[in-house]
Amino acid sequence: MRILHLDAGKEMRGGQHQVLRLIAGLAAAGVESTLLACPDEPLYVAARKAGWCVEPIGFTRAVMLSRRNDLIHAHDSHSHNLGAVVRGKPLVVARRVSFPVGSKWKYSTATHYIAVSEFVKSVLMEGGVPEDKISVVYDGVPVLDVATPSRIIAPGNVHDPQKGAGLAMEAAKLAGVTLHFSADLENDLRHASLLVYVTYSEGLGSGALLAMSAAVPVIASNIGGLAEIIQSDQNGVLVENRPEEIAAAIRRLLDNPEIARTIGRTARQTVIDKFTVDQMVRRTIEVYRQVLY
């Protein structure tokens, strides 16, 4: 099986990390991958450094390489546009965001959709995509070493209006704590006591999963697909997007370290049971086979 992956992202966000994990897992399963990505951007550089076959993304190259591959897997909205005009091979589109479906034509072009959560699946269906054309494949994350707590962190997407950096900072001030915004979540989680994951829109929340894998308690907005991975007060804490409620959750976990440890241990087991990279790769291969055979 040969897969042509398309990703036009210019930042290294959750989706781009998933592409790298998927390609590595596919290689281990004997599936060949070629990635088209934006030259000199983080995903392109990381894929090249890892030794994967990666070339600059563009229409001509996509058409040419599609002839050598069995299936096209588009991983973001821009590459969905590109895949829609490359004819001749099945097109699988990963849908990670929870925004409403826009162009009806565009969303009629894919052979199959991989939704990152049941919530995202429902958004696709509301936009007119038939249910039998959608499979839910949850993100997979590596199981990190258990963190040694020393700081409270939040994802470093401070310039994204859909993420609640300002709200998180307001809540941290109310709680009387310092919040550290992380540009390298996987590394910084080694020393995290809490992850404050405040957002106004979320398809699933791979950053939250990564923290959970390190037994770091997550305080997350009760938004989108986050409720599919967090059962509040069991393996994390779900909050409404109000600074007082977020601050109270921060203080409760900091003031009750045994509760925080219990939540963290349960969160880690949740990831092991349901959200590993191996599980994500296996489910994706099942979708490929369903489409091809």
| 58, part of any domain | yes
Same domain, 209 and 247: yes
Q: What is the DSSP string of 59-74?
A: HHHHHHHHTT-SEEEE
Q: Whole-angstrom Cα distance, residue 196 to residue 183?
A: 14
This prediction has a pTM of 0.93
Q: Helix, strand or coil for residue 34?
A: strand
Neighbours of 264 (CB within 10 A): 26
Same domain, 7 and 134: yes
| 126, part of any domain | yes
Q: Whole-angstrom Cα distance, residue 262 to residue 136?
A: 29
Same domain, 162 and 211: yes
- Taking alpha carbons only, the member of 38, 87, 72 closest to residue 58 is 38
| 145, part of any domain | no
Same domain, 77 and 57: yes
Same domain, 72 and 19: yes
Strands 151-155 and 112-115, bridge-based pairing: unpaired
Q: Whole-angstrom Cα distance, residue 100 to residue 124?
A: 8
Q: How many CA atoms lie within 13 A of 223 on its CB side?
A: 21
User: Mean pLDDT in each 10-residue stretch from start to end of the chain (293 residues)?
Assistant: 96 93 97 97 96 96 96 96 92 94 87 97 96 97 93 85 88 96 92 96 94 97 96 97 97 96 98 97 98 95
CATH number at residue 229: 3.40.50.2000
> With contact defined as beta carbons under 8 Å apart, do 228 and 204 qualify?
yes
Q: Whole-angstrom Cα distance, residue 52 to residue 5?
A: 11
Same domain, 155 and 40: no
Same domain, 90 and 167: no
Q: Whole-angstrom Cα distance, residue 268 to residue 171?
A: 25
Neighbours of 212 (CB within 10 A): 32
Give me 191's structure tokens. 């020393």
Same domain, 43 and 115: yes
Count of the separate structural domains present in the chain: 2
pLDDT for the residue 158: 66
| 162, part of any domain | yes
Neighbours of 246 (CB within 10 A): 26
pLDDT for the residue 170: 96
Length of the chain: 293
Q: Which ranges of 109-237 would DSSP assign to H, the alpha helix?
A: 118-126, 165-175, 185-188, 206-213, 226-229
Same domain, 136 and 281: yes
Same domain, 267 and 286: no
| 156, part of any domain | yes
Same domain, 249 and 286: no
Same domain, 18 and 134: yes
| 146, part of any domain | no
| 165, part of any domain | yes
Cα end-to-end distance, the chain, whole Å? 11
What residues make up the domain containing 265?
A: 151-274
